[in-house]
C-alpha cells in the first residue's frame, strides 16, 4: 500500500505554499526555480525547510499573543 506524504490536502493552498517556499529560499540565499529542484544539496534543501518551519512557528507564536 502506497502512502504519498507529499499529497496536498487542500489543492487551493498549493500556490500559496510554493510562494512561501520561494520566499523562504530567498531569505536563506538559495536560488529555487519553478518545478524540479533536485539538484539542490542536502544543506540547501534543509536550510529552506528549516526557514519555512521557523517562519511557521513565529507566525503561530504571534497568533497566541
At residue 40, φ and ψ (nearest 5 deg) are -70, 150
Centre a 10 Å sphere on the Cβ of residue 48 and count the other Cβ atoms it contains.
Answer: 23
3-60 pLDDT tens trace: 667 777 888 888 899 999 999 999 999 999 988 999 999 999 999 999 999 999 999 9
C-alpha cell at 29: 540565499
Is residue 2 over pLDDT 60?
Answer: no
40-56 pLDDT tens trace: 999 999 999 999 999 99
What gap in Å lies between CA 61 and CA 52, rounded to an integer? 14
**What is the per-residue pLDDT for 4?**
63
What gap in Å lies between CA 42 and CA 47, rounded to an integer? 8
Amino acid at each position: 500500500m502506497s502512502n504519498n506524504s507529499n499529497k496536498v490536502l487542500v489543492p487551493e493552498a498549493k500556490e500559496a505554499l510554493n510562494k512561501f517556499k520561494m520566499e523562504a529560499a530567498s531569505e536563506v540565499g538559495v536560488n529555487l526555480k519553478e518545478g524540479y529542484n533536485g539538484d539542490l544539496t542536502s544543506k540547501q534543501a534543509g536550510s529552506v525547510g528549516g526557514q519555512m518551519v521557523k517562519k511557521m512557528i513565529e507566525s503561530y507564536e504571534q497568533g497566541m499573543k
